[in-house]
Structure 1
Amino acid sequence: MYDFLTTSPWPDYELIDSGNFQKLERFGKYILARPEPQAIWDPHLPLKEWEKADAAFARAPGSTEKGQWRLKPSMPEQWVIAYERPDGLKLKFRLGLSSFKHVGLFPEQDPNWQFIYNQTRKRRAKLPRVLNLFAYTGAATLAARAAGADVTHLDSVKQVNFWARDNMEASQLDGVRWLVEDAMKYVRREVKRGSKYQGLILDPPAYGRGPNGEKWQLEDELNEMLKLSQQLLDPEDHFFVVNLYSLGFSALILDNLTTAIFPGPKAVRELGEIYLHDAGQRKLPLGTFCRFAT
């Protein structure tokens, strides 16, 4: 079955509008305008509303990635927002304005954070081991840790791990294992060691580099990564989440891969697209996902 996931109402986040390859968002009390390649429609709101943004990102000439933020005087370069859900998950995130348009958080992942938190809570008595690969600033890591997991957080960028640690401390959590590693090399070693995890989270980029220049290309590496992941999961008790944000990468590709690599019935298996909806009720697609649990 093809599913669609979207973020539940969240006081400290709102997608205000989208269009003209941009999105207008509120993080806490600050409004940001930044590029979004899939927002090909017209904006819902007039230009004067977009001009109220506290910060707007402009790409550098000739670059599809890097650029600069134009800030109003009241806009800080870093600030903290709160995240709280009825199921008891409470976190805080330090946000910042990067030269790649990112702010350190992907709010559309809210449904997966809740899934990770609730699946971990079901296994809490067993102190489940959870591995978060390509873990970025650690929202999924903290969701698992808040539910009582023994979490390993792996990202190839040291500064990103420092950022994730700041989020952990802001959320009044501790005990996460931090690794600056190439994900593929690490999971190969873990398979050889016979390691097993009750939770495994993958959010790989379309392309990237390991700490020693190792190359990651999604379409070349994903098949092997999923096969290794299958070997790392506890065969009797596990949950698994994979999320992809790559233009043109269909959820049907994930369907084919996960059906072949993870055979057998699953108590929960969801696959489809993640999106955010703006005030004009347009649905902004922001990735594909597959998740399941025994």
Structure 2
Amino acid sequence: MQDRILSLSPGVWKDYELIDTGGFEKLERFGEFIVSRPEPQAIWDKSMQDSEWKKLAHAHFAKEKNNPEKGHWEQLKRMPHNWQIGYQNEEGLDIKLNLAQTSFKHIGLFPEQAVNWDYIFSTIKRSPVKNPKVLNLFAYTGAASVAAKAAGADVTHLDSVKQVVTWSRHNMEASKLDGIRWIVDDAMKFIKREARRGNKYQGIILDPPAYGRGPDGEKWVLEEQINEMLKTCAEILDPKDHFLLLNMYSLSFSSLIAVNLIKSNFGEVKNPEHGELYLQDKFEKKLPLGIFFRFSSF
């Protein structure tokens, strides 16, 4: 098993482009609109001048001084608050995703995850189980859930925030799909109940935040709770036919941490892959955007 770094090939996704990075910011195109927003990993210099960024961008996210995760969008050119883009791949995945300017600098998707949408889609297509049960934890706005549903899975989508679950439903409907099971709950509480019930899933997708809160204020701290969560996931993952995908975005995490977590909780797994996710800008600078571990029995 070797460490890998994964990224979409430039130009493959027509509706997305990472134009430039640096100065703790990134400049991106989503469909026909270009936005600039904070990026703590981009500690190098920009390749383009600030004046060029401002000339290109439709909107810029300005951080609050006391809270770098909050702020407001400065509109530099006319653009809608909500818009939609598509994602397609050569294997037949074709989904629509709704975007919006939020007060937390996010717009509704993480583009580096597209390589994992591809993995989810192709892995489910290979599954010997018809309509495999897939659980997406910390599912956010549900691009992975929609990709799994498009491949024919019976999908359970869980997030602690009702608004993003509603956003996910809109993504499903925009992609002309239906039948995803929506759950607003604390992820740890839910999987422990599933383990007690003896329920099994052929696929589990986890993309936990570094910090978070459940719907009733339950505290989530990645390094304190991810081991316990994976231990419980091992109880509910089908021992014969299965896949698991783990993403973690933390500035202090190495992919070796994911390797140790998986080995500790699942033992030896089939077809393991682990490493870093990144996106490459037009100037060939590679922006690291988290670590992953994924494995599949089929």
TM-score by length of 2: 0.97
Between the aligned partners of 1:140 and 1:198, the Cα distance in structure 2 is 15
Match of 2:7 in 1: 6
The one-letter code sitting in structure 1 at the alignment partner of 2:224 is D
The one-letter code sitting in structure 1 at the alignment partner of 2:284 is Q
Match of 1:41 in 2: 44
Between the aligned partners of 1:164 and 1:272, the Cα distance in structure 2 is 27
Equivalent of 1:219 in 213, 218, 223: 223
Between the aligned partners of 1:248 and 1:3, the Cα distance in structure 2 is 18
1:178-197 aligned within 5 A: 178-197=182-201
1:128-167 aligned within 5 A: 128-167=132-171
Between the aligned partners of 2:45 and 2:294, the Cα distance in structure 1 is 33
Tell me whether 1:254 sits opposite 2:255 in the alignment.
no
Q: Shift in Å at residue 47 of structure 1?
A: 2.2
- Residues 7 and 109 in structure 1, CA contact (< 8 A), matched pair in contact too: no
Tell me whether 1:94 sits opposite 2:98 in the alignment.
yes
Alpha-carbon deviations, 1:124-155, whole Å to 9, x = none?
Answer: 75210000000000000001000000000000
Between the aligned partners of 1:183 and 1:125, the Cα distance in structure 2 is 25
Match of 1:289 in 2: 292
Between the aligned partners of 1:166 and 1:69, the Cα distance in structure 2 is 23
Structure 2: unaligned runs, 5 residues or longer: none
Tell me whether 1:27 sits opposite 2:30 in the alignment.
yes
Between the aligned partners of 2:210 and 2:91, the Cα distance in structure 1 is 32
Aligned-partner SS, 2:284: coil
Between the aligned partners of 1:107 and 1:160, the Cα distance in structure 2 is 17
Q: Shift in Å at residue 49 of structure 1?
A: 2.0
Between the aligned partners of 2:199 and 2:21, the Cα distance in structure 1 is 44
Between the aligned partners of 1:73 and 1:36, the Cα distance in structure 2 is 22
Between the aligned partners of 1:110 and 1:222, the Cα distance in structure 2 is 23
Deviates most, 116-125 or 32-41 = 116-125
Q: Shift in Å at residue 249 of structure 1?
A: 1.1
Aligned-partner SS, 2:136: strand
- Residues 17 and 278 in structure 1, CA contact (< 8 A), matched pair in contact too: yes
- Residues 154 and 183 in structure 1, CA contact (< 8 A), matched pair in contact too: yes
Q: Shift in Å at residue 63 of structure 1?
A: 1.0
Between the aligned partners of 2:141 and 2:295, the Cα distance in structure 1 is 23
The one-letter code sitting in structure 1 at the alignment partner of 2:207 is D
Structure 1 stretches of at least 4 aligned residues deviating more than 4 Å after TM superposition: none
Match of 2:62 in 1: 58
Q: Shift in Å at residue 73 of structure 1?
A: 4.4
Identity rate, percent: 57
Alpha-carbon deviations, 1:72-94, whole Å to 9, x = none?
Answer: 34111000001111110000001
Equivalent of 1:235 in 222, 232, 239: 239
Q: How many correspondences in the alignment? A: 293
Between the aligned partners of 1:43 and 1:265, the Cα distance in structure 2 is 41
Between the aligned partners of 1:282 and 1:276, the Cα distance in structure 2 is 8
TM-score by length of 1: 0.98
Aligned-partner SS, 1:205: coil
Aligned-partner SS, 2:272: strand
The one-letter code sitting in structure 2 at the alignment partner of 1:172 is K
Between the aligned partners of 2:45 and 2:208, the Cα distance in structure 1 is 30
Alpha-carbon RMSD? 0.9
Q: Shift in Å at residue 113 of structure 1?
A: 0.5
Between the aligned partners of 1:111 and 1:260, the Cα distance in structure 2 is 26
The one-letter code sitting in structure 1 at the alignment partner of 2:195 is V
Match of 2:277 in 1: 274
Between the aligned partners of 1:73 and 1:238, the Cα distance in structure 2 is 47
Alpha-carbon deviations, 1:158-183, whole Å to 9, x = none?
Answer: 00000000100100000000000000
- Residues 124 and 149 in structure 1, CA contact (< 8 A), matched pair in contact too: no
Structure 1: unaligned runs, 5 residues or longer: none
